Structure 1
């Protein structure tokens, strides 16, 4: 018994060659959206990346602060004694001037032998202290003076106000920029509220202050920042609104006695900022997606094979019967004869 099986028509029409493998080729037009995407990612990530890098560099300075204090000349105890003598010699506090980035020191020392720049200088570059504000995750170095160069690298102590070594009848003023594109500095100082704490580490001493007052000063108030008898105060100053700098934010803290044990334990520890750079993970993912886009665009689109022109009858393919029983169940078939003859 023989049977005839019809072949399925070939997917490739007669006379046409099988399509060859697709070859990758760089498409210049695909580079334009890729470059635009990369530029957009870098522009969007720049403030975060720049602030992280700046904070990382500042954390390295803070980490080396204790080592610098241990090797300071004169020794730490001598410089602390000079700082207290400097504070005792001050005759007045500081005033806030309108349309200026920083307050103006109005105090003066009565002892010419007490050179401001040489007192509490840990590394020969003006590094004075370390300021931590847990409420806003801030950990920054404090330098002598408030020059533009100083305030771009950290916080600045206002000359003419008490040095930040504590003591009754003192008020130290520490200033910082706000709203810099490449650094946080005092950008979040407006989030510090009454009851929050900040800590100053200076030449082995740990001073903890609790915020007792926060306010915004208008330019025409010209308020004096003077020491108050019997009180140990520190005022943090920055400008507001962002980019306009017509007002001042004042955050004043009063010394806590005794110094909390947790602050003593944290003294000298490496900074916990900056945190893990998750922005690097995001950028890496973005670059991978752009790379995949460029790679995929280098391949030409797949071409569908053209259908052969044939009659409807020839295009229909009868199902193959694998056994006589399947052929009987599938219906009449001219090519198949039942084994027992035709039925009446």
Structure 2
């Protein structure tokens, strides 16, 4: 006599192993995307609050901008691109000992200095004082020993950030910036636009590109290459655009456009549901659904 009672649902260890491998594989593959998005989100909150920090800083913005120009006037600019390191070092010094680098253009206790926007590669980063490991973990850093990024003739500021971090985008796409692209610095209420005039890869010993040029107002963005090896440096040098484009002035202080919509928040749950559906479906014995349909037809 045929037993019409359906067999019970049962989870096999093979199904469990496959499901766990798929689930954890999905998490591992998603980690860089999720971590990078969360890092960008944290950075966006810092830059979004930047102008409010500047408005409430002491000394006030006008005073700190004046001090920054005085610092630059007294600065002997220089920079070193040391081999086998992941960041350059500054070699410039200020002849005016009353001007404390760490206290000029300081918007908060962390040393927030400026906001850097590179539209061509969707970068919108806070710029902090110095290039310590802690600073560069989540932000761009101003290279001490080079001009403060407030513009003016005979200045050359250097801003650096990491490239290729698993959990932060930062300058990962700096190699995609092209001559003619523009980037914008918002510094204590000032808006400075720079147009890229040169991009190149240099050896650490080639530091002449970071020197001040008479009459020029320059900013160079620096990061390491190749990824994970760091034997060379990418230099993206921009020259000041004057007058500042009106659209850049109007967009100053606006909420960051990055990060974009977190699609991972859609496909991670969707992937989890698919894996769950696979586990549920696989728990039924072969022929279960055909037998169930047959019983319904015979009812």
TM > 0.5 fold call: yes
Tell me which residue corresponds to 2:163: 178
1:29-178 correspondence runs (5 A): 29-178=14-163
5+ residue gaps, structure 1 = 1-15, 306-344
* Displacement of 1:166: 0.5
Tell me which residue corresponds to 1:203: 188
Q: Is the 8 A contact 2:142 2:159 kept in 1?
A: yes
> How many angstroms apart in 2 are the aligned matches of 1:44 and 1:74?
47
Q: Is the 8 A contact 1:95 1:224 kept in 2?
A: no
Q: Is the 8 A contact 1:158 1:173 kept in 2?
A: yes
Question: Which among 227, 231, 254 is matched to residue 246 of structure 1?
Answer: 231
Tell me which residue corresponds to 2:211: 226
SS at match of 1:281: helix
SS at match of 1:153: coil
Q: Is 1:26 matched up with 2:11? A: yes
Q: Is the 8 A contact 2:116 2:186 kept in 1?
A: yes
> How many angstroms apart in 2 are the aligned matches of 1:222 and 1:234?
14
> How many angstroms apart in 2 are the aligned matches of 1:77 and 1:220?
38
> How many angstroms apart in 2 are the aligned matches of 1:187 and 1:139?
13
Superposed CA offset, 1:269-299 (max 9, x none): 0101000011222212211110001111222
Aligned residues: 290
What RMSD over aligned residues (CA atoms) do the two structures have, in Å?
Answer: 1.5
* Displacement of 1:99: 2.3
> How many angstroms apart in 1 are the aligned matches of 2:23 and 2:235?
41
> How many angstroms apart in 2 are the aligned matches of 1:53 and 1:92?
36
Tell me which residue corresponds to 1:287: 272
* Displacement of 1:302: 3.0
Deviation >6 Å, runs of 4+: none
Q: Is 1:296 matched up with 2:281? A: yes
Query: What TM-score results when the alignment is normalised by the length of structure 2?
Result: 0.93
Question: Which among 174, 179, 186 is matched to residue 189 of structure 1?
Answer: 174
> How many angstroms apart in 2 are the aligned matches of 1:267 and 1:222?
32
> How many angstroms apart in 1 are the aligned matches of 2:30 and 2:55?
39
> How many angstroms apart in 2 are the aligned matches of 1:99 and 1:21?
67
Change (3 A) 1:224 1:95: farther
Tell me which residue corresponds to 1:215: 200
Query: What TM-score results when the alignment is normalised by the length of structure 1?
Result: 0.81
SS at match of 2:127: strand
Q: Is the 8 A contact 2:81 2:205 kept in 1?
A: no
Greater C-alpha radius of gyration: 1
5+ residue gaps, structure 2 = 292-299
* Displacement of 1:96: 2.2
